[in-house]
Amino acid sequence: MFSHAITRVPGPDYPQGLTTSAAAAPDMDLTLSQHAAYVDCLRSLGLTVTVLPAAQGFPDACFVEDTAVVVREVGVITRPGAPSRAGETAFIEEALSAHRPLARIEAPGTLDGGDILQVGKRFFIGVSDRTNDEGARQLAAILGAHGYASDVIRVAAGLHLKSSLNFVGADTMLVTADFAGHPAIEGYRQIVCPAGEEYAANTLLVNGTLIMPTGYARTRALLAPLGLPIVELDTSEYRKMDGGLTCLSLRLEPALP
């Protein structure tokens, strides 16, 4: 169960961030209202939410999940793989240090939090364009010291691992077709997003509720038999910047006593 979340308001330079999308630039009024709805949703699920101010000069900084990996014992400050995001971690350290002792990914390792999926005491670490082998090795070593196991998965499709693979409870993974049947998740039931609804794979499980992007009725129908409440949120302005629901927060379980 998560007790706290850290988010960051998108800044006025958000439309200048990194993206592979050819869509029109984000509408900032809509971007901010969607962010506020996201924060309200987390609060409705029992989380205390810290909303950090925009980080001027870092248009991607609202995607705070990429800057840290947090377990009950430690917060790991990452080393984002995109050079333009390298300075973002300095803005998260103070907020996170109030909750956890900190460790860090060091050069030449690179690591984005969007490539990291936790399921209990097991981690799936995606090696992608943003996370390299050395970053994966360092994270696995830090987590291993606290009793967590790690599996490395090569990310051949999508920006991050969690663009295509997420845990949705009941020993079940929600995946895109590219990850269906992957050996690393063979012990889990798999729900495969229908063609054209791959973006819905970035669905977030928070305190027994599934938060999914709005507009993916076929994927929602596949999730319904899990018996969990489902909340849909509009993320149109984040999709334009290759972002999704998991990217917009760091979720924290209560720290160890």
Catalytic residue numbers?
160, 247
Q: Which residues contact 228 (CB under 8 A, 6 or more apart)?
A: 168, 169, 205, 208, 209, 210
Q: Which helix (H) or strand (E) holds 173?
A: strand 172-175
Nearest to 201 by CA among 220, 228, 182: 220
Nearest to 54 by CA among 15, 81, 23: 15
Buried b (16+ CB within 10 A) or exposed e, 153-177: bebeebbbbbbbbbbbeeebbbbbe
Buried b (16+ CB within 10 A) or exposed e, 30-46: ebbebbeebbebbeebe
Diameter of the chain measured on Cα atoms: 48
> How far is CA 1 from each of CA 120, 207, 254, rounded to the nearest angstrom?
11, 5, 8
The encoded tokens of residue 109 equal: 């390792």
Q: Which helix (H) or strand (E) holds 103?
A: strand 102-104
